Structure 1
Amino acid sequence: MRVTKYFETFMRKNKNADEHWCTYMFFVVLRLVLVFIPQLGYVHPDEFFQSTEIFIGEHFQLEHIRSWEFNSTFPLRSVAVSLITLKIPLNLLEIIAVNLRGFFGIDIICSYTYLVFPRLVMCILSFVNDWSLYKVCQLYSLRYEIRLLALGSSHVMLIFGTRTFSNSIEMAISSVLLYLVAECMIHSNTVIYKKEFLEERYEKADSIGERVKIWKLKNALPPHNYNRLLLMSTLCVAGVFNRPTFLLFGAPMVFYWMLRGMGTKSVSFKHFNLRMALFCLSAVPATLLFTIIDSFYYKYLTMGELHMVQIGINNFVFTPWNFIKYNIDPTKTAQHGLHPRYIHLLVNIPLLYNILGVIALVAFGQQMLRFFKAEYQGLPRAQSIVGLMSAAIFAPVFFMSLINHQEARFLIPFTFPIVLLHSPKLVTGFCTSYPFKEEHPFLRFVYEKFLCSRASARYLLKTWYTLNIALVIFFGFIHQSGVFPLAQHFETSMQTKAPNENLHLITSHVYSFPLSFVNIPSSGLVRVNRHTGQKYRHRKDFYLYEYGSTDLSKLILKLKIILNHCETKQQTQKLKYRLYLAIPASLTDQLHEVAYKSNMTSIDYELIKVFYPHLSTEALPNPFGRHPCDLNTPIDDLKGTCQVPASFQAKDDFLSMAYLSRQFSAFAHQFGLALYKFEIKHNKRIY
């Protein structure tokens, strides 16, 4: 009977494992598919302006916006890691593009490629996290199917893992480093155990022959003290140069690597100090290499100075130190937004990891409670894999919470340890046994209804899927998702416009516009005609004006000034122009109202296109906004238009299906990015 029950349990576990593995493979395919669709959602300006906007613009010699962090006078960002993750792949892309153009006449260099190709590189890099998780599970005989499933289905991997954030690279480096530390820990424990066992056998041996045999076995044991030393130190240097916050993520891992075997007969505090010293020395070559790369890029160091051996300390720039100096100043970080200290712990972790984030916080709170109650036997061992993963989560959270500017994406490097520790609870439930010491009716009710395996296992995995799908849809396809189609629209417009025509684009209440996606040759570079040898520059014919969340009344004043300037240049230099304004569709009502009040009788404007879907949190849709039939209302006829039909004026009719459907349609159509064209009526000037 027992054998039959065991066999049934074994078969059920294997069936679940196969299901989890197949579902994980589905999410692997989905991760790749979401890159090529592509996701039009725009998570944060840093995904472009700290990576693709700079390197695509420079590589393909396009008009682009160089963010302040890449200012040569005080550079905060290193380019060393980006050369590997972006520059080298872009060279490969260019070779492929040249051959396709030459042999097949196909031109793949366009805005779609600029968006998708870097994300494809990041997507491939993201599988480093999956590989590291699988290897650690194998090392410690853990169930890898459910852990890989949780990792693959997380919106952190599907969205953030495939975006060109420095945080995504930081996550990959952290995962590899955790795997290396975990491998070194189990290797050291195995070698130390065998060594101490052989030493005991050696002391108890009765004959010289047996002692010689044991001595040979002891000397045949592999070394373990400095395993992976050079690789780990190089990874740490790469992580710090990529993003100096890696110091906070890498420190617990390196500490555990140095702590291996402490407290045994074989490893003493002297070994800990020696490991630390050698680790620092091993990091010197990579530090020098990355510093030299940055110094050449920012023109602090030139080949001429190198050839003449005219090199001093001022010829080198150490970007991580500049980054740290900037971010330890609260007044400077406050310019990017102030957040309470608890945001990371109570908001960002649940936002990123939903159910797993809550489970991790509860587990950490339980450990802290046991610690303060001196129940040390219930805590994980200091040198265990659970101790390593717990430290890799909460040590960085503590120190990062001391910084007054906090964003959720800063925390994605500890995706690996959260998934490894807590993802099995998505199928087993919160608790397999009663977790409270005291027997209380309320605690027993909470356990039976919410925490026990039978109660919680039914809904945890479903809730995990539901929340992650919702976040993928929001960040991947709705949030600021009209910006890239807007860039594609102007890419086409620039190719079809007249030679003596300038295009002007004003944006407001949207994220920064990635100029490189418009695919315009740079006007700042001197080029040489291959046939005549004559030097020339491309004329600047696209102008971008970004006004953030400027009040619309002030925006209209700025628009009038730009329009007047364009009109003047058209009359004096015969330069035609087209002036556009891009704002969220939710501001359409307000735009018409402000335009009417500002007496723009000499200006015509019309709605050219609305890019759906698009949601700007800076201008949320109004449930009581006007219907889209009135989006293109002329100013002269603005007053009194788009009123509620007479059939809806009665109080009872406001709850009719016709009125409700009309209002729902009006609300839904506000999830767009509206593009307006402005021009002077009959060549009148504005004063």
Structure 2
Amino acid sequence: MLKLAGYSYLTERWYLFLLMIRLYFALSPSYIYPDENSQGPEVIAGKVLGYDVNYTWEFTSQSPVRSWFILWISYGPTMSIMRFFACTPKTTSYALRAKMFLLSVCVGDRAIWELSSSIKHRKSHLLMAGSSYVTWTYQMHTFSNSWETLLVLWSMALIRRIIQNKGQSRFRSCLVLGFIFSLGIFNRTTFPAFIFIPSLRLLPHFFQHSRSAVAFVFSFGITSSIAILVDTICYTGSIWGNFNPIITPLNNILYNANTANLAQHGLHPWYLHSLVNFPQLIGPAILLILLQLPFSFRSPLSSELWWNIITALFAIMSLSLFPHQEARFLIPIVPLILCCVRLPSGKKSRKMWLVMWMIFNGFMGMFMGVYHQGGVIPLQMRIPQMVEQGNVYWWKTYSPPVWLLGDKGRNTNLTTIRVFEGDIIDPIKLSATTTTTYLVAPYSSTRLDRYVNMGDEGIRLEEMWWYDRHLNLDDLDFEVDGIWGTVERVWGRRGLILWKVHIVM
């Protein structure tokens, strides 16, 4: 039996099946949220591949909040290899997704394996985490949250090693832990919320073994200093930054501490994480967690179950203090929570729960991993083949990743218009009178039907390309269409279309 680093679950049939599912979603061109590109691959593609890209406010403000140091580590090597082999943006995009798949398997699953106390628990933990749609979708995308999940898992695994091991291996683990802590903080300032409780386990050890504490502090300090130096050079072009070093985690904290800043991204009630986002991520598992929660606190303080539960609860409460809340902010605690799930003991109740679990993750996996804004990336990749030059307007979709245009981005003027209650006709009509103009819009937008083929108001839309696995939830109108009418329109007319705009004299 094949063994890798001391464990052999890679040959288990159930695990291989879940790997195939994970790989399928990794290579599916869904688009969960623009941040998966704009906060990472987009900006690195501009530096490494020389593409014209869009830099978001995180990089252009006077107090930038995103660390270049982390981005160079995360995406720089992959894109450098792609540049060496002169790969297309499409190939590079798939390479990044394949990398996230391999990291999830080789890094994430190994951490879960180490955090489990027995072979029996290891298999059940890998089964629960591997059968979650969060693993299939979010972890396969280039989110900073996906990297954060891996860093949280390995931080906890290393803490466990340090507490249980003796000798030189413990010293080396402290060095690596300091490095990971620094990466985690410079990657996302939410990292301390996930790692604060597990870190408490280290305090007694550090008091008894000052050499380990020094190794941790030294590694953390060196890594953080290098990160600050790299960020300062990237943002100011100077090593000293006019004696004003760029400390992106500090800038991030100060930015998010201002409610007026968060209002630009959307304000949410304090209970959204607890009552909506967290149940949305783990589905039927929330029922078992709520039933088992009182018994979890009776576990010994040394048990991994107790620490996982406390870590998750503390993270949810901490992140709930900030009024801007998105479900992806919580994905680092999903594997920790799923490792705490104990299936019902009754045969019928266990079977019923497993059916609910499979239906939930199958539905959410297909929605988030395939259909959700699923046409944005394929259509953006298609534009360089179909559009020589001109304006491309996007309506009622997420902002497309500009770097996927490659060198063609210099000739194509991408104008992203997110209009939910306004009109798109006047802008494209004005543009089409002076240059070649295209419109990307969901097929569910019935407002455009009158302009197709026959044309109306001096505008005619000619269909150039259609991608059918695209669902648009930015065009819901329950007041006009009703519940069933809205569902029928959005699902029955799913798809994203590239139209060419013609002026009719």
Same fold, judged at TM 0.5 (above): yes
Distance 1:561 1:366 in 2: 66
1:550-629 matches, within 5 Å, as 550-553=420-423, 555-564=424-433, 566=434, 577-588=435-446, 590-592=447-449, 601-620=457-476
SS of equivalent residue, structure 1 residue 92: helix
Instruction: Indicate how the Cα distance of structure 1 residues 601 and 521 shifts in structure 2: closer, same or farther if over 3 A, else same.
Output: closer
Residue 48 in structure 1 maps to residue 37 in structure 2: yes
Deviation per residue, 1:559-600 (Å, 9 max, x gap): 233234x2xxxxxxxxxx321111211112x2346x69xx95
Distance 1:39 1:483 in 2: 12
Report if the CA contact (8 A) 1:482-1:614 is conserved: yes
Please name the residue that 1:296 is paired with.
Answer: 233
SS of equivalent residue, structure 2 residue 438: strand
Count of equivalent residues: 493
SS of equivalent residue, structure 2 residue 444: helix
Please name the residue that 2:333 is paired with.
Answer: 414
SS of equivalent residue, structure 1 residue 618: coil
SS of equivalent residue, structure 1 residue 551: coil
2:60 to 56, 67, 71: 71
Residue 87 in structure 1 maps to residue 76 in structure 2: yes
Instruction: Indicate how the Cα distance of structure 1 residues 312 and 299 shifts in structure 2: closer, same or farther if over 3 A, else same.
Output: closer
2:147 to 166, 169, 174: 169
Deviation per residue, 1:37-91 (Å, 9 max, x gap): x312210111111111111233211122111111163211012122122101211
Distance 2:503 2:150 in 1: 53
Please name the residue that 1:355 is paired with.
Answer: 284
Instruction: Indicate how the Cα distance of structure 1 residues 140 and 298 shifts in structure 2: closer, same or farther if over 3 A, else same.
Output: same
1:420: how far off? 2.0
Residue 479 in structure 1 maps to residue 372 in structure 2: yes
Q: Which amino acid aligns with 2:328?
A: R
SS of equivalent residue, structure 2 residue 501: strand
Residue 675 in structure 1 maps to residue 498 in structure 2: yes
Q: Larger relative CO (CA 8 A, sep 6+): 1 or 2?
A: 2
Structure 1 moving runs of 4+ over 6 Å: 17-20, 272-278, 621-625, 663-667
Please name the residue that 1:214 is paired with.
Answer: none
1:144: how far off? 1.6
Distance 2:113 2:404 in 1: 37
SS of equivalent residue, structure 2 residue 339: helix
Distance 1:610 1:356 in 2: 38
Give me the identity figure in percent. 25
Report if the CA contact (8 A) 1:623-1:664 is conserved: no
1:231: how far off? 1.3
Report if the CA contact (8 A) 1:505-1:544 is conserved: yes
Distance 1:507 1:668 in 2: 20
Deviation per residue, 1:480-536 (Å, 9 max, x gap): 111112212212024xx3xxxx3211111110011111222564xxxxxxxxxxxxx
Q: Which amino acid aligns with 1:403?
A: F
Distance 2:96 2:9 in 1: 33
Q: CA RMSD in A?
A: 3.1
Instruction: Indicate how the Cα distance of structure 1 residues 284 and 667 shifts in structure 2: closer, same or farther if over 3 A, else same.
Output: closer
Distance 2:168 2:383 in 1: 61
Q: Which amino acid aligns with 1:57?
A: G
Report if the CA contact (8 A) 1:604-1:678 is conserved: yes
Report if the CA contact (8 A) 1:136-1:183 is conserved: no
Please name the residue that 2:115 is paired with.
Answer: 136
Report if the CA contact (8 A) 2:158-2:177 is conserved: yes
Distance 2:71 2:364 in 1: 28
Distance 1:361 1:285 in 2: 42
Instruction: Indicate how the Cα distance of structure 1 residues 552 and 135 shifts in structure 2: closer, same or farther if over 3 A, else same.
Output: same
Report if the CA contact (8 A) 2:394-2:416 is conserved: yes
SS of equivalent residue, structure 2 residue 284: helix
1:203-602 matches, within 5 Å, as 222=167, 228-259=173-204, 270-271=207-208, 279-302=216-239, 313-314=243-244, 316-364=245-293, 379-422=298-341, 425-426=342-343, 429=344, 432=345, 453-494=346-387, 497=388, 502-521=389-408, 523=410, 541-553=411-423, 555-564=424-433, 566=434, 577-588=435-446, 590-592=447-449, 601-602=457-458
| TM-score normalised by L of structure 1 | 0.66
**Structure possessing the higher radius of gyration over alpha carbons:** 1
SS of equivalent residue, structure 1 residue 467: helix
Distance 2:393 2:257 in 1: 35
| TM-score normalised by L of structure 2 | 0.89
Moved more, 57-66 or 356-365: 356-365
Distance 2:309 2:383 in 1: 49
Report if the CA contact (8 A) 2:9-2:15 is conserved: no
Report if the CA contact (8 A) 2:175-2:215 is conserved: no
Distance 1:664 1:151 in 2: 31
Report if the CA contact (8 A) 1:552-1:591 is conserved: no
Report if the CA contact (8 A) 2:175-2:216 is conserved: yes
Instruction: Indicate how the Cα distance of structure 1 residues 273 and 514 shifts in structure 2: closer, same or farther if over 3 A, else same.
Output: same
1:317: how far off? 0.5
Residue 26 in structure 1 maps to residue 4 in structure 2: no
Distance 2:109 2:180 in 1: 18
Distance 2:416 2:100 in 1: 29
Deviation per residue, 1:270-310 (Å, 9 max, x gap): 549997676444421111011111112113425xxxxxxx7
Q: Which amino acid aligns with 2:224?
A: T
Report if the CA contact (8 A) 2:372-2:471 is conserved: yes
Please name the residue that 1:102 is paired with.
Answer: none
Distance 1:344 1:124 in 2: 29
